Amino acid sequence: MAPVNQKSALRSAEYDPVRGAATLALTTFESGGVSLEDSLLHSRELVRFDERDARFFKLLVSGVVKLKRRLDYQLKFYLSRPSEKLAPKLQNILRLGLFQLQRVDRVPAAAVVNESVKLARYFFGDPKARMVNAILRSYLRDPDKAIFPDPEDDSARYLAEFYSYPDYFVSYCLKEFGFEKSAKLLDSMNGAPNLTLRVNLIKVKAPEIEQALKKAEVEFIAGAFLDEFYVLPDTPVSKISDLLEKGKVYVQDQSAGMAVRLLNPRPGMTLCDLAAAPGGKTTYAASRMRGKGKITALDKSRRRLEVLVDNCKRMGVKMVAPVACDAINFESPERFERVIVDPPCSGWGTAAKHPDLRWLKTENDIKQMNKIQRKMLEKGASLLKPGGILVYSTCTIMRSENDQIVEEFLLKNKEFELESADSFFDSSVISGRGFVKTFPNIPYVDGGFAARIKRKPN
């Protein structure tokens, strides 16, 4: 069969261009060398979507990437030859069809099958189109044909196949949380993420934002942990574009904001953020400081620092001094009253928002990050004044990146002590050691960690 021109194919009237673009994005991503974000952008450049189609496109791609292990496991039960290796594009057409039948209620089953068949016919011809039709209709007749591993015999394999996660992460969850809690946690990260925004108190007060959201007919829920945060369930960013452009709000999860609240920066203080870009924690700290004081914002990426500077300008933050520098090599003649250490991490608290994370991060990646995390904590501590406060925070739920890093540091550095978070937050998110720990199965919050460390006065 002659090669298909991608651009003309996606504009073909022979099938739905949204599903065609989703097929292309998935296949491009799986071919390697291209991030999921780049695959999404490339596919969208080939077709002009309106807002509704763009949301459907993202739902399809994100959903299939998250659930591909489960979908592939189920599909084998409907193939005439279960061991048959399918062409990547054909496999993604089947994944998309099965995903829609299972997870997209608003699309009739007949339409899902029909559109999947059209895709297969265009890219592969009638024989494969008939195959796709047979598989999806077989699923509709017998949706429970796939038999998952018995959780009593092999709980790890059951959770990995049923909820679609890598083996090492499932094994960790079982060891850390047990079966029931692990199942709830894994299930929660397969759902659609919520949009959360923070009010920029330098420019506006919370009641003004509430009125603006009501006027735009945007549903919102007040943050359970931070009073200037609002959760916007099932809301596209475009709905709040005006508020974002004017710097009145910033998209930020409560779990990230909790690290800043735990740091408790006050007006007039000096603060250093060791991994500041794109500026979420930096600008929140500036907001808590009422724009008074000085924040030194480090990042080794100049491009990301430019984003931080743009965010500061838009939000009216004038107290930030950006520094393009690897935090570990940063030298300063002054010591700071507050330090934020937010090192690179596996991101396992944000898997709902980053569909490809579960397939990209490996155990070895985490071990390599542990080395950087230790070095950054040591560097941050060296920059802290006696009596000053440092907060170490991540967006992961892995103990080796959180508790273990902090406990090892405290054992080696007796001039520092842990301060409990119990005076800042409800006990439901505080561990026995006084760490802030949130998990994705808590409503409207990502998973995250924060520890408040004080340098003892001389």
Q: Supply φ then ψ for residue 217, to 5 degrees.
A: 60, 45
Q: How far apart are CA 161 and CA 49, in angstroms?
A: 33
Q: Which of 272, 312, 345, 395 is the catalytic position?
A: 395
3-class secondary structure per residue, 17-73: HHHHHHHHHHHHHHCCCCCHHHHHHHHHHHCCCCHHHHHHHHHHHHHHHHHHHHHHH
Longest dimension (CA), the chain: 80
Element (H, E) at 341: strand 336-341
| 113 within 8 A of 135, measured Cβ to Cβ | no
Q: Which residues contact 216 (CB under 8 A, 6 or more apart)?
A: 239, 240
Q: Which of 346, 349, 453, 439 is nearest to 401 (CA)?
A: 346
Angle at 96 between CA 93 and CA 100, to 5 degrees: 140
CB atoms within 10 A of CB 266: 14
340, two tokens:
């934020």
Does 272 qualify as catalytic in the annotation?
no
Catalytic residues: 395
